[in-house]
Copies of this chain bind each other. A is one copy, B any other.
């Protein structure tokens, strides 16, 4: 019974996600779904990206949180448009929530839409929100065993942003080991070691965004 209900929820999520993909493709809009543990640095990555690339792309954000609009306010402070979804305790965003919060955006005049999911390494992975790609974030303070212990995200993500590398001297985290685990699950996974605090390592992430944006526009 529980399994049947879960399957129905996922199926109905897939059908709305398919509608969204068609809409986003029609607009030539690149859509990225950012997924990580709480506190891995999704909002910090957005703050950097929205600031550094604002002369280059028209970007906006859907912010998912259980409670508060703290993150939407942080994002809005960069000048980008941000719409907050509060799940009221719900553990993930789904395609219906995204669809129901698109009205404030002028999609035809956007290049990249970021969806910042609820901080949770498990549940958000199962709900397609109509994105082109899932972006996994992992902080080096979380330990290099996380791709092995939480495999689904690293299996389905297109890239992994390895954040807080400025903390590497102070934690037991082996970048090679984390990368090896993640690529056992997903041989083509792009890996970007960065520090959103210092700004180190962001250029390859920006180059990836440019390439994905160009590919989407031409499609």
Binding site for B on A (CB under 8 A): 1-2, 5, 9, 37-39, 65-68, 70, 89, 91, 118-123, 139, 141-143, 145-146, 148-152, 164, 166-167, 170-172, 197
Contact = CB atoms under 8 A, between A and B. Distances in A.
Contacts of A119: 37, 121, 149-150
Contact of A67 (B68, B121, B151): B151
Nearest to A123: B91
Contacts of A5: 1-2, 5
A164 B172 CA distance: 12
Copies of this protein chain in the complex: 2
Given A139-B141, A143-B39, A148-B70, A91 B122 contact: yes
Contacts of A151: 66-67
A120 B122 CA distance: 7
A188 to B, nearest CB: 21
A146 B38 contact: yes
B149 A66 contact: yes
A121 B89 CA distance: 11
Given A122-B118, A122-B123, A142 B70 contact: no
A38 B38 CA distance: 8
